[in-house]
């Protein structure tokens, strides 16, 4: 027996919190009977569960690392039929979704899973899971610019700040930066740097917590290793640190 919200989350319906909302709203049935008690437990082998009339089947949790190229969308459907990150893992039968989206113009590391509970925790600012990026920006950000990124920049949806920023190397009139975030607002890095007058020319995510993009070829995927999965679970359970060994602030 397991809690209903856990069963739904592992079946890919959403995070446990989202599943609790569905249960409380009376949208979930067990053996044809509507349940609203959040503590309800089910046996996946014996009980038939449905959400809004659609049967929910227990799925084996799967975890994939994908190197998303530029031009692919992190959505499960696009009316314009542009390439999707999901197209990069046609061999995966389960209904998976992305952990931490990258916009169409960005590339790099995606985690794709049907474990809604873990996905939700990895992206929630409360758990302080670090996401590491290398970014090519126009111009040469000053030490003052980098300090502003660390102190916080006001955007339309609030104040955002980087956890760590380091200058890597110049490239002509542009500069490569290494940026670490613990938040996940839409196009956050692009908007922060634009606010300081530095347009992002290229953006690539190279790590989520302890999971590294490393030498995974662009457009390819691999299974998340068991040690990597265990480290992520420890981080979101409070028994592990939310960062992947990044150093203290470096201005470069």
Question: Residue 5 and residue 51: Cα distance in Å, rounded?
Answer: 12
Q: Which residue reads 């995966």 in tokens?
A: 92
Catalytic residue among 103, 151, 157, 214, which? 103
Whether 103 is a known active-site residue: answer yes
- What does DSSP say about strands 107-113 and 200-208: parallel, antiparallel, or unpaired? parallel
* Residues whose CB is less than 8 angstroms from the CB of residue 57 and which lie 6 or more positions away in sequence, other chains included: 11
Whole-number CA gyration radius for the chain: 20
Question: Residue 62 and residue 76: Cα distance in Å, rounded?
Answer: 17
Please give the order of strands across the beta sheet that includes 33-34: 33-34, 28-30, 49-51, 54-56
Catalytic residues: 103
């Amino acid at each position: 027996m397991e809690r209903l919200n856990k069963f739904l989350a592992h079946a890919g319906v959403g995070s446990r919190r989202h599943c609790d909302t569905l249960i409380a709203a009376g949208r979930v049935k067990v053996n044809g009977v509507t349940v609203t008690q959040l503590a309800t437990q089910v046996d996946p082998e014996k009980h038939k569960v449905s959400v809004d009339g659609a049967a929910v089947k227990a799925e084996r949790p799967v975890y994939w690392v994908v190197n998303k190229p530029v031009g692919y969308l992190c959505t499960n459907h696009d009316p314009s039929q542009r390439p999707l990150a999901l197209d990069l893992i046609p061999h995966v039968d389960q209904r998976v979704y992305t952990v931490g989206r990258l916009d169409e113009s960005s590339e790099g590391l995606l985690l794709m899973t049907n474990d809604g509970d873990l996905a939700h925790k990895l992206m929630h600012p409360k758990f302080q899971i670090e996401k590491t990026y290398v970014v090519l920006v126009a111009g040469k950000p000053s030490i003052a610019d980098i300090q502003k990124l660390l102190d916080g920049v006001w955007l339309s949806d609030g104040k955002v700040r980087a956890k760590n920023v380091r200058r890597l190397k110049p490239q002509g009139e542009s500069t490569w930066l290494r940026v670490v975030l613990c938040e996940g607002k839409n196009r956050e890095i692009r908007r922060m740097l634009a606010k300081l007058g530095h347009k992002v020319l290229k953006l690539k995510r190279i790590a989520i917590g302890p999971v590294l993009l490393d030498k995974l070829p662009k457009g390819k995927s691999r299974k998340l290793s068991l040690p990597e999965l265990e480290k992520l679970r420890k981080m979101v359970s409070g028994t592990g640190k939310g960062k992947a060994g990044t150093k203290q602030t470096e201005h470069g």
